[in-house]
Structure 1
Amino acid sequence: MAELNIVLYEPEIPANTGNIGRTCVATGTKLHLIEPLGFSLDEKHLKRAGMDYWKDLDVKTYVNWEDFCKKNPNAKIYYATTKAKKTYVDVNYESDCFIMFGKESAGIPEEILKMNRETSVRIPMIGETRSLNLSNSVAIVLYEALRQNKFDHMKLEGELHRLKWDE
């Protein structure tokens, strides 16, 4: 079973983290938050964006990058950054990998990226656009990883409530 992980490095905006938390619940993905956070985990904007899903979220927090590395020594990590040479579709996401995103104002520190060039990925954009919204970026890359893992453990078909599709 695919057990993907999203890592947010020092997220700053509670609504983004709330939206990402909701996406993680909907996909069975674990969320890892590396402090310092730009908000409190009981902040109303976080819970508003995450709605009633936040209580179902598998979330772990870490005091800093070193704490995260110490507690996840064998993690295969992909680093989502606008600075990467490869796109997010150029890699094969393992079923238990971690996909890391940086804080909204600065991204992932370049010291971390430099040590992980081969597993750094980007979302293509035109012109000089700095970046996409963090929660949108997470959804784009996470769903590619899920697709590559054949949407393992996910509901693949929807249904109408009052009518049937074949009527």
Structure 2
Amino acid sequence: MRLVLFEPDIPQNAGTLFRLGACLGLPVDIIEPCGFILSDKHLRRAGMDYTDLVQITRHNSWADFEAQRTGRLILLTTRGDRSHVDFHFESDDCVMVGRESAGVPEAVHAAADARLRVPMMPDARSLNVAVTAALVIGEALRQTDGFPRL
């Protein structure tokens, strides 16, 4: 399983997602351009020393990522048509979060094998991308027995 960040805007969220990947043994893909420099101090503060423990693959564009992708693309989106808890994950899935400011373009929506959302209260718009990724990755790893062994 892989965690994919599509053109992230906020370094603190990216750092938190790098830390999530490091702690759970998940490689992280970044589709550029980013809204910040990858050496940003906020990214380092959020990721702490975990950023040195995660396998990060940078892709210059969506097309570059797609050319190298293996496994299904699972897009986490407020426009998702089903809940992450009602979805059957596979161990080679690529779980993607979109840009904090704009999500992902229609071409990415169209390429996704599944579009999932986290169930929320009716008046709530969305969760933070790092929180969403953690919830969904937790369920995906539970289903695939992919958590690191204690």
The bucket for the TM-score relative to the shorter chain is over 0.9
Provide runs of 4+ in structure 1 moved above 3 Å. none
Matches within 5 A, 1:77-88: 77-88=73-84
Which residue in 1 is equivalent to 2:107?
111
How far apart, in 2, do the equivalents of 1:41 and 1:53 lie? 14
Q: Superposition RMSD on alpha carbons, in Å?
A: 1.3
What are the superposed Cα offsets for residues 54-99 of structure 1, whole Å, 9 maximum, x if unpaired?
A: 1111000111100000112x32111110101111112111112110
C-alpha offsets along residues 31-57 of structure 1, whole Å, 9 cap, x if unaligned?
A: 000001011111110010000111111
Which residue of 95, 98, 108 corresponds with 1:99?
Answer: 95
Rounded to whole Å, the distance in 1 between the matches of 2:119 and 2:14 is 22
Q: Does 1:54 align with 2:51?
A: yes
Counterpart Cα distance in 2 of 1:140 and 1:127: 18
Return the letter of the residue paired with 2:10. Answer: I
Structure 1 match to 2:130 = 135
Q: Unaligned 5+ residue runs, structure 1? A: 156-167
What is the SS of the residue equivalent to 1:89?
helix
User: Any residues of structure 2 matched to 1:26-65 within 5 Å, and which?
Assistant: 26-65=23-62
Which residue does the alignment assign to 1:160?
none
The answer to whether the Cα contact below 8 Å between 1:27 and 1:154 also exists between their aligned partners in 2 is no
Which has the larger displacement, 103-112 or 16-25? 103-112
Number of aligned positions between the proteins: 150
| CA–CA separation in structure 1 for the residues paired with 2:35 and 2:68 | 22
Q: How far apart, CA to CA, are the structure 1 residues paired with 2:111 and 2:73?
A: 12
Q: Is the 8 A contact 1:84 1:120 kept in 2?
A: yes
Considering fraction of residues, name the structure with more helix: 2
Cα distance, 1:137–1:152 mapped onto 2, change above 3 Å = closer
TM-score (norm 2): 0.94
Deviates more, 1:136-145 or 1:86-95: 86-95
Structure 1 residue 152 displacement after superposition: 4.2
User: By how many angstroms is 1:109 displaced?
Assistant: 1.6
C-alpha distance in structure 1 between counterparts of 2:139 and 2:47, whole Å? 22
In structure 2, give the amino acid aligned to 1:79: L
Q: TM-score w.r.t. structure 1 length?
A: 0.85
Q: Any residues of structure 2 matched to 1:61-80 within 5 Å, and which?
A: 61-72=58-69, 74-80=70-76
